[in-house]
Amino acid sequence: MKRASKTQTKGLTMLGAPTAMPANPDEAVLERVPNPHPDISFCVRFAAPEFTSLCPLTGQPDFAHLVLDYIPKKWIVESKSLKLYLGSFRNHGAFHEACTIDIARRLVAELSPAWLRIGGYWYPRGGIPIDVFWQTGMPPKGVWIPDQGVAGYRGRG
């Protein structure tokens, strides 16, 4: 089994240590490590089925199932830092559209991936589910990118 070298993990501040949840997304640190296979294109998926944020008007909690797919170039995101970044939205007031796109743009800024898409499958607010989708463009040819696999909201149906 190939282990990460000291060079690859140098500068990581959260891995292997207790880390407090950031108070908000602006305070959250996203860490990255070198892509272990920069010579090939492959898809990385993160699913956050219990993502929460706050309605900016009422302060009530909003819930979503987020699915992030990306094709790395030089960098991959360190998963603990991503978990804490997503958790930092728990007390953050923003509309569904803002949360979803802000997450994607931050990842693009940190990683400069070959391609990234996000699906924000939000549970109903006011009786209407709001789903938000965005991607950086067309994915590279020849990379298997599975369907996000999240069914549209059907209530009790």
43 classed as catalytic: no
> What tokens does 87 get?
């958790």
- Catalytic residue (one of 26, 39, 62, 102): 62
Q: Kindly report the backbone phi and psi dihedral angles of residue 100, in degrees, each rounded to the nearest multiple of 5, phi listed first.
A: -60, -50
Residue 3: CB partners within 8 Å, gap ≥ 6?
A: none
From the list 47, 49, 43, the residue with the least C-alpha distance to 116 is 43
- Catalytic residue (one of 26, 43, 55, 131): 55
Round to whole Å and give the CA distance between 137 and 117.
8
55 classed as catalytic: yes
Question: Which residues are identified as catalytic?
Answer: 55, 62
